[in-house]
Amino acid sequence: MLRVAIAGASGYTGFELVRILSHHPQVDLTTITSRQQAGQRLDQIYPAFKGHCELTFANTDPEILAANADLVFTALPHQAAMDIVPELLKRNVKVVDLSADYRLKDSKVYEAWYQPHKTPELLSEAVYGLPELHREQIRAARLVANPGCYPTSVILAAAPLLDKGLIEHRSLIADSKSGVTGAGRGVSLSVHFCEVSDSFKAYKVAEHRHTPEMEQELTHLAGEAVCLTFTPHLVPMSRGILSTVYATLREETTADHIDKAFAAFYREAPFVRLCGRGELPTTLQVRGSNYCDLGWRVDERNRRLIVVSVIDNLTRGASGQAVCNMNLMSDMAEELGLNYAPWQP
Amino acid sequence: MLRVAIAGASGYTGFELVRILSHHPQVDLTTITSRQQAGQRLDQIYPAFKGHCELTFANTDPEILAANADLVFTALPHQAAMDIVPELLKRNVKVVDLSADYRLKDSKVYEAWYQPHKTPELLSEAVYGLPELHREQIRAARLVANPGCYPTSVILAAAPLLDKGLIEHRSLIADSKSGVTGAGRGVSLSVHFCEVSDSFKAYKVAEHRHTPEMEQELTHLAGEAVCLTFTPHLVPMSRGILSTVYATLREETTADHIDKAFAAFYREAPFVRLCGRGELPTTLQVRGSNYCDLGWRVDERNRRLIVVSVIDNLTRGASGQAVCNMNLMSDMAEELGLNYAPWQP
Amino acid sequence: MLRVAIAGASGYTGFELVRILSHHPQVDLTTITSRQQAGQRLDQIYPAFKGHCELTFANTDPEILAANADLVFTALPHQAAMDIVPELLKRNVKVVDLSADYRLKDSKVYEAWYQPHKTPELLSEAVYGLPELHREQIRAARLVANPGCYPTSVILAAAPLLDKGLIEHRSLIADSKSGVTGAGRGVSLSVHFCEVSDSFKAYKVAEHRHTPEMEQELTHLAGEAVCLTFTPHLVPMSRGILSTVYATLREETTADHIDKAFAAFYREAPFVRLCGRGELPTTLQVRGSNYCDLGWRVDERNRRLIVVSVIDNLTRGASGQAVCNMNLMSDMAEELGLNYAPWQP
Amino acid sequence: MLRVAIAGASGYTGFELVRILSHHPQVDLTTITSRQQAGQRLDQIYPAFKGHCELTFANTDPEILAANADLVFTALPHQAAMDIVPELLKRNVKVVDLSADYRLKDSKVYEAWYQPHKTPELLSEAVYGLPELHREQIRAARLVANPGCYPTSVILAAAPLLDKGLIEHRSLIADSKSGVTGAGRGVSLSVHFCEVSDSFKAYKVAEHRHTPEMEQELTHLAGEAVCLTFTPHLVPMSRGILSTVYATLREETTADHIDKAFAAFYREAPFVRLCGRGELPTTLQVRGSNYCDLGWRVDERNRRLIVVSVIDNLTRGASGQAVCNMNLMSDMAEELGLNYAPWQP
C-alpha cells in the first residue's frame, strides 16, 4: 500500500482526491491538511464523507506530511505550493502538485503571467503531468506538475493535429466553457447561485493564465512557436468543460488524415475515447470520470476543422488526472481506482 | 460470479443498474433487454458507457433472460412486469422487480390504486425489499418487490417512531420533494427543461400511487392502521429526494426517546446515516449513493416532530436498493458494489 | 408625480424596486442609497439598468432622503432600519419598510426572536402591509411594515380558512420552499452555485424568524392564538416561493365551504388568482409578478386540507408588494405599475 | 389602435408575443391561432396569462386573421409559413413572419438549406427585419422576415467591422451558445431536463440553417462574399444567447478603429448597448429585454479581435424584434412597448 497525503484538502479538488483515493485499492490515505480547517474532522464539515473518511485536518506542515506519506498531493493555491513542494522533495517524498507553480518550463514566462518564482531550479525537473504526452517521464518523476483543467481539454483536442502538422498554427482558437467548480469553493459574488443560474458569460478573454501552459505543450508538439487565442466561459452547471477548438487545415490535409491522426495518437490511451468525425460528445457523458471524449467535424466550405473536447474539470481536469499520475509514478496500472463509468445523469 | 440480466434497461433506472453492476466484483451482467432499443448497442445510444458495457439490447423474452441469468432485475412499467415476472420464476430465476406490481400484499388495494392484477397469488410470496425492515426475508426470497423512491424515503424516516409508538398516527404527513429523474426518461412537456428550470410545483397531491405502499409498511410497524397525507413536489434538479415528515408527539414522548429510537432501529444498517437531532441533511450529501441520511428536530412550541430524510432517488430509491437486495438474496455482503462515497458536488 | 427614494438599494430587493419604479407612471425615483456602493453609478455595478436608471448611490442619510422624497422605501437589514425609519417619519416622509423591524406589534415577541427594539412606540402605529388584510389601514398609514416573503405566501393561503373557522388551528403546518434570491445578495458558502445546484435542503426548521409574523396575523384572523409549525427549504432556482399548507378540517367543514371561503375572501383582490380546488399552481406562473396564485385539495381519507400558494419572493414577497403599499398610501390605483404579465418561461 | 393577430401562438415565441403585445399601448391583440389548441382558452393552457389575455385559440385560417387584424405575426414552422403568408398579403394585411421562409433573398440558397420554396417571387419584396441594418426599408414593408435568434446576435457583433473593412473576412468564426427555449416547446429527449441540466454540448456544427442568413447580411455589408464558420451550443438555461465572434484584424486596423466603428454604427440604435472594449456582457443583463449588449477585446499577441454579443433569444432573437418591426411598419416609435428594464436576476 502506498501511503499518501493531501496538502490543502478542503476545496473541491481536495474533496475529489479524497473521494477517489478512498476507493483506490492500493492506497492508504493517511493525512489531510488545511490551514482553515485544521483540527476539524472532514466528515463534519463535509457530511457526504461519513463512513468513508475519518481523518481530521492537520496543519499544512512538511514534517508531518513527509512522516506520513510516500507521495503528497499539493492542492494549494499557486505561490503557496512553491513554499512547500521543495520541502517535501528534500524529505524524499514524491509530489503531484495541482497548482500552476511547476507547469511552465520557462521561469520568465511564469513570472510574466504569475509572480516571481522562488525555486526556478525545479522547473526543469518537474514533468508536465499529461499522461498522453509524457507517460514515460511521469513514471520516472519525483515532481509532477498536474495540468490545468482548460489546458487538459485543449491540448488533448489539438495534440494529434500539431504532432502530424495538419493545421495552420496561427489559426488556432480555443473557445472553452467550464462549470462553476472550476472557480473553486471560495465565496464571491461571481459564484452566487443567482448570478450564475440562467446566465452565461465569457471572462478573462485573451488573458487567462492557462494560455502559456497550452502554448508550451503545443509548441513542443509542433516543433515551432504556437500562439493561440483562448476564451473561457462560465456555464451554469457544476462540473464539466467543453472546448471547441478551431483551426484552418493545411492545404494538403484531408478529413481522412485527421481521423487517422487521432486514432494513432490515442491508440494506447485508456482515458481518451474517440467519438469520431461528426459525432460530438457532451460534458454529461464524462461526468465524474477521468475520460476525455473527442469528436470533430470539417467545415469544407472554408477548410476549417472544429474539434470538440469534453472532460470533467474536477476529475480529468484535476484530481483524477493527479491520481493517474500517482499511479504511473508508483508503478501501478494507469487506470487503477479510476476505471469506473461516468455518473449519469 | 452471479449471472444477472436487466429486463427494460433503457430508462434511468436501467442505466443506473448497468452502472452499478458493471463495477460489482461478483456479478457478470450478461443480458440487457429493451423493446424499443432491441438490436442496438447500449454504448451507442448512451456513449457514457463506452468501455464499460459492450452489450446489445435483446428483446424482452423470458426464455433468453432465464437462459442467461440466475437473477433478473425487471425495470419495466407496472403491468408489463406482471407479464414477465411469473415466467421468470417458473424458470427458476430469482427476480428483483422495480415496478409497483408486487409491492402491495392486498390485491384489492393494488387494484384500487392501479389496475386488475394478473397474478395475485404471487403477492404473498413477494418480499418488500426494504432491507432495514425485512432483511431476513429478503435473504430467503425468490421474488423481491423493490420499494418506490418516495416510500423508501418516507418509511425510513417514520419507521423507528411507529415501531416504538412515539407519535400520533393520525398526525403523519409526508411532504416530499423529488428530482426530475423520478419522472423517468420518457418525453413530455412536464419534463421539458424550460418548464422545470427555475420553477417548483406540487403534483398528484393526496392521490399519488406511492401512498398505499407507505401505509402498508407503516401499518405493519405500528400494529394498527396508519393513514397518512402524502404530497409530492418536483424540484428543478436531476437526482435526489428530500422528505419532510411531520408528526405530533404522544404526550409522554421526549426528544431523548426519539434520538434513542433512531439509534436503536438503525444500529445494524450500513446504508442509513444518522445526522442526529438538529442536524439536517441535504440531498447533495447522498448523491449517487445508496445512503439514506436522517436528521430531526422537535418543535416544542406545539409538540411536533419534523424528520428530514434524504436519498438519491435513482440509487437508494431504485437501482442501488435493488442491487442491495440482490446481494442479500445471493448471500453476499449487503454493501458489495455499493460502498463508495457520494458524488460531490 | 410622487418623489420616492430607496435606502439600501444595492441588494436584490433594491434592484427589484428600481426595476418596478423605473416603469411606474406616477413615480419619480430621485435617490438611491447604499453604504457600500456610495459614489458609484447603479448601471455600472448593474449593467442591466443601462438606459433605465442613471442614478448614483448616495450615502444612507435621512437628511438627503427627506429632502428628495415624499416616500422612502427602506430596504435595509433589520436593526439598521430601526435607526433610520424614525428619522424619516420626523421629517414628514412616509415610509415602506422592507425589514422585519416594524412587523410585530408586540415588542416582547420582537425581542424574543430578534434583538432589543429601539423604538417600540412606533410598533402600534406601523401597519402590516398585506393589502388583502389591511387595505384601508395602509391607505391611511405613515409607516407600513412590508411583510416577509414566507409570511406573505403562508398567510394568504390560510387567511380565508381561519377567518371562517374552517380548520383546527393546532393542526396548521406550513412547509415552504424558496428560491435562492430569498437569501439575499451577500456572499456565503450556502449560496455558492455548486452547493445549491442539483441539491435541496431544509433549514432553520421550527426556528425561522418569520414564524411570529405569521402567527400574529393568523391569530388576528382566527380570534384566538394560532401556533404553527413552519419549515423553510431552499430550492435550486433564483425566484419563487411555494408554500404547502396543511390543516385538519373541522368536523362540519365541507370542500364546498372551502371553495366559497376563498372566493369570498379574495373577491376584491387584484393580485390573488384562484386556481380552485384540484388545480395547483407552479412558481413559474407568477414569476416576476405581484400575483399570489392559490390552489387546494382535500384529502378526504383523513380530513386534511392541502393549500398550495405560490408567489415571486422578490416581487410579491418584497418589492412588488412594497410598491403596491406605496400606491395605496398615495391614493393611486392598487395595480399601478404592477399589472403586467408574469415572465415566461 | 392597431389590430394585430398571431398565427401559431402556442409556442414560446407565441407566448412572448402575447406577453409583449398585452402591454403595448397602441395595440389591440384580437386573435390568436393554433392548430393543436384551437377552441381552448390561452389562460387555461398557460395560467400565467390569467387576467392578461382572455382569448381563445382559433384555427389558423387566413380569412379569420385578415378580418381581425391589420398586421399578423406568423409564428409557424418554416414551410407552414409559406402557405399562409401569401394569403395574408393578398388580403392587404401586413405580415411579420418569424419563420425562416422569407429571410433569404436567393431561393437557390433557401432550397439548398431548407426545401423547395413555393413563393420565391415574394423573396425580393420581403425585408430582413434587423432594424439596425434595414430600418428605412422595414418602415415601408408589407412583409418583414424576422431574423433568426443566432443571426441577430452574430450579425450585430460583426456588422460594424465588415461595414468599415476592419477584419479579414475569411477569418470569421461565430461560436454561439443558446438557452433551451431556442429549441422550442416541442417535446423530445434533447430538451428533457435531465439530459440538459448540468451538461453542455455543441450541435449541428458547421451545418446549422442559420448560417446562410448570417452570410447574406454580412456579405451585403462587406461588399464581397463572406463565408463563416458557425458553431451553436446548448446551455443549461432557459433564455439567452451569447455569441463569441472571432476575426483577424486587417494589418492597418487599430483597437481605436474598432471602438469608433461600433460607436458610429450604433449611434442611433435604441436597442444596442455598447459595453466597450474590455467590458464583456452576460446574458443575464439582457434577460427579457430587446437589448443586444456588445463588448470586445483585442488579443494583440495574435492580432485577433473577440466580440461578445448577448441577447435574449425569445425577445431580441424573436418576439421583441418582431414587435419592434411592427412598430416601424406602423409608424410608431421603435421602442414602444419594449423599453422596460431587463429581468434581474
Residue C20 near residue C318 (C-beta atoms within 8 A):
no
Q: Give how far B337 is from chain A: nearest CA, Å.
A: 11
Q: Across the interface, do C193 and A238 touch by the CB < 8 Å criterion?
A: yes
3-state secondary structure of C125: coil
A163 pLDDT tier (thresholds 50, 70, 90): very high
List chain A residues with CB under 8 Å of B49.
341
List chain C residues with CB under 8 Å of B308.
202, 205
Region D232-257: mean pLDDT is 98
A174/A238 same-domain check: yes
Considering the domain boundaries, does residue D165 fall inside one?
yes
Whole-angstrom distance, CA of residue C198 vs CA of residue D46: 27
B246/B307 same-domain check: yes
Residue A138 confidence (pLDDT): 98
Chain B residue with Cα closest to D180: B194
List chain A residues with CB under 8 Å of B41.
none
Query: How many domains does chain A contain in total?
Result: 2
C206: left (phi over 0), alpha (psi -120 to 50) or beta: left
Considering the domain boundaries, does residue D78 fall inside one?
yes
Residue D15 confidence (pLDDT): 97
A201-202 and A229-234 strand pairing: antiparallel
Compute chain D's Rg from CA coordinates: 20
Q: Across the interface, do C201 and B282 touch by the CB < 8 Å criterion?
A: yes
C143/C267 same-domain check: no
C122/C138 same-domain check: yes
Whole-angstrom distance, CA of residue A104 vs CA of residue B11: 46
Report pTM. 0.98
- Pure H helices in chain D: 12-21, 42-45, 62-68, 80-90, 107-113, 131-140, 149-163, 193-196, 211-222, 255-265, 320-329
- Of chain A, the percentage scoring pLDDT greater than 70 comes to 100
Residues D17-67: tens digit of each pLDDT: 999 999 999 999 999 999 999 999 999 999 999 999 999 999 999 999 999
Please give the backbone phi and psi of residue B239, each rounded to the nearest 5 degrees, phi first.
-125, 150
- Pure H helices in B59-128: 62-68, 80-90, 107-113
Residue D33 confidence (pLDDT): 98
- CATH code, domain with C321: 3.40.50.720
A314 pLDDT tier (thresholds 50, 70, 90): very high
Q: Across the interface, do B302 and C179 touch by the CB < 8 Å criterion?
A: no
Residue D2 confidence (pLDDT): 98
Residue D307 near residue D296 (C-beta atoms within 8 A):
yes
Whole-angstrom distance, CA of residue B216 vs CA of residue B213: 5
Considering the domain boundaries, does residue A287 fall inside one?
yes
Residue B129 near residue B178 (C-beta atoms within 8 A):
no
3-state secondary structure of A234: strand
Average pLDDT, chain D: 97
In a 10 Å sphere around its CB, with 0-12 CB exposed, 13-18 middle and 19+ buried, how is residue D23 labelled?
Answer: middle
A251 pLDDT tier (thresholds 50, 70, 90): very high
Region A36-40: mean pLDDT is 95
Q: Which helix (H) or strand (E) holds A15?
A: helix A12-21
- CATH code, domain with A284: 3.30.360.10
List chain B residues with CB under 8 Å of D198.
238
Considering the domain boundaries, does residue A75 fall inside one?
yes
Which of C195, C200, C287 is opposite residue B235, by nearest beta carbon?
A: C200
- Write down the residue that cell numbers 395595440 correspond to: D27
Four-CA torsion A9, A10, A15, A16, nearest 10 degrees: -70
List chain B residues with CB under 8 Å of C229.
246, 299, 302, 304, 306
Considering the domain boundaries, does residue D336 fall inside one?
no
The Cβ of residue A224 has, within 10 Å, a number of other Cβ atoms equal to: 9
C226/C323 same-domain check: no
Residue C1 confidence (pLDDT): 95
Residues B15-64: tens digit of each pLDDT: 999 999 999 999 999 999 999 999 999 999 999 999 999 999 999 999 99
Residues 6+ apart with CB under 8 A from B238: A345, B179, B180, B181, C198, D193, D194, D197, D198
Region B200-215: mean pLDDT is 97
Beta bridge partners of A246: A173, A306
Q: Across the interface, do A197 and C193 touch by the CB < 8 Å criterion?
A: yes
List chain A residues with CB under 8 Å of D304.
173, 206, 229
| Residues of chain A with a CB closer than 8 angstroms to some CB in chain C | 12, 180-181, 185, 187-189, 191-194, 196-198, 236-238
Residue B320 near residue B290 (C-beta atoms within 8 A):
yes
Considering the domain boundaries, does residue D55 fall inside one?
yes
Q: Across the interface, do D193 and B188 touch by the CB < 8 Å criterion?
A: no
Considering the domain boundaries, does residue B252 fall inside one?
yes
Residues B130-157: tens digit of each pLDDT: 999 999 999 999 999 999 999 999 999 9
Residues C99-155: tens digit of each pLDDT: 999 999 999 999 999 999 999 999 999 999 999 999 999 999 999 999 999 999 999
Q: Across the interface, do B197 and D185 touch by the CB < 8 Å criterion?
A: no
Residue B256 confidence (pLDDT): 97
Region A280-308: mean pLDDT is 97
| Residues of chain D with a CB closer than 8 angstroms to some CB in chain C | 12, 15-16, 18-19, 22-23, 46-53, 181, 197-198, 238-239, 273, 275, 279, 281, 284-288, 291, 293, 339-345
Residue D154 confidence (pLDDT): 98
Residues D131-140: tens digit of each pLDDT: 999 999 999 9
Region B99-106: mean pLDDT is 98
Average pLDDT, chain B: 97
Which of A153-187 are b and which e, b meaning 16 or more Cβ less than 10 Å from the residue's Cβ?
A: bbbbbbbbbbbbbbbebebbbbbbbbbbbbbebeb
User: Which among A205, A286, A296 is the top mutation candidate for probing chain D, defined by the most D β-carbons within 10 Å of its own β-carbon?
Assistant: A205
The C-alpha cell that represents D36 in the structure block? 393543436
List chain B residues with CB under 8 Å of C204.
none
Domain holding B29, by residue range, is 2-147+316-329
C129/C189 same-domain check: no
- Chain A: list its partners (3+ Cβ pairs within 8 Å): B, C, D
- Write down the residue that cell numbers 495518437 correspond to: A265
Which of A187, A194, A237 is opposite residue C188, by nearest beta carbon?
A: A187
D304/D156 same-domain check: yes
- Write down the residue that cell numbers 481518451 correspond to: A272
Low-confidence ranges of chain C (pLDDT < 70): none
Residue D219 confidence (pLDDT): 98
Residues A74-102: tens digit of each pLDDT: 999 999 999 999 999 999 999 999 999 99
Region B303-313: mean pLDDT is 98
Residue A75 confidence (pLDDT): 97
Q: What angle, 0 to 180 degrees and rounded to 10, lies between the N-to-C axes of helices B149-163 and B131-140?
A: 110
Which of C195, C205, C297 is opposite residue B206, by nearest beta carbon?
A: C297
Residue B246 confidence (pLDDT): 98
C288/C323 same-domain check: no
Q: Across the interface, do D51 and C344 touch by the CB < 8 Å criterion?
A: no
A55 pLDDT tier (thresholds 50, 70, 90): very high
Residue D190 confidence (pLDDT): 97
Please give the order of strands across the beta sheet that includes B292-299: B201-202, B229-234, B173-178, B241-248, B304-311, B292-299, B272-277
B278/B322 same-domain check: no
Question: Of B258, B257, B235, B238, nearest to B306 (Cα)?
Answer: B258
Q: Across the interface, do C281 and D47 touch by the CB < 8 Å criterion?
A: yes
| Residues of chain C with a CB closer than 8 angstroms to some CB in chain A | 12, 179-181, 185, 187-189, 191-194, 196-198, 236-238
Q: What angle, 0 to 180 degrees and rounded to 10, lies between the N-to-C axes of helices D131-140 and D149-163?
A: 110
D97/D174 same-domain check: no
List chain D residues with CB under 8 Å of A297.
205-206
Residue C268 confidence (pLDDT): 94
| B and C: number of Cβ contacts within 8 A | 153
B11/B127 same-domain check: yes
| Residues of chain C with a CB closer than 8 angstroms to some CB in chain D | 12, 15-16, 18-19, 22-23, 46-53, 181, 197-198, 238-239, 273, 275, 281, 284-288, 291, 293, 339-345
- Chain D: list its partners (3+ Cβ pairs within 8 Å): A, B, C
- Write down the residue that cell numbers 500562439 correspond to: A227
- Of chain D, the percentage scoring pLDDT greater than 70 comes to 100
Q: Across the interface, do A197 and C12 touch by the CB < 8 Å criterion?
A: no
Considering the domain boundaries, does residue C342 fall inside one?
no
D175/D304 same-domain check: yes
Chain B residue with Cα closest to D179: B194
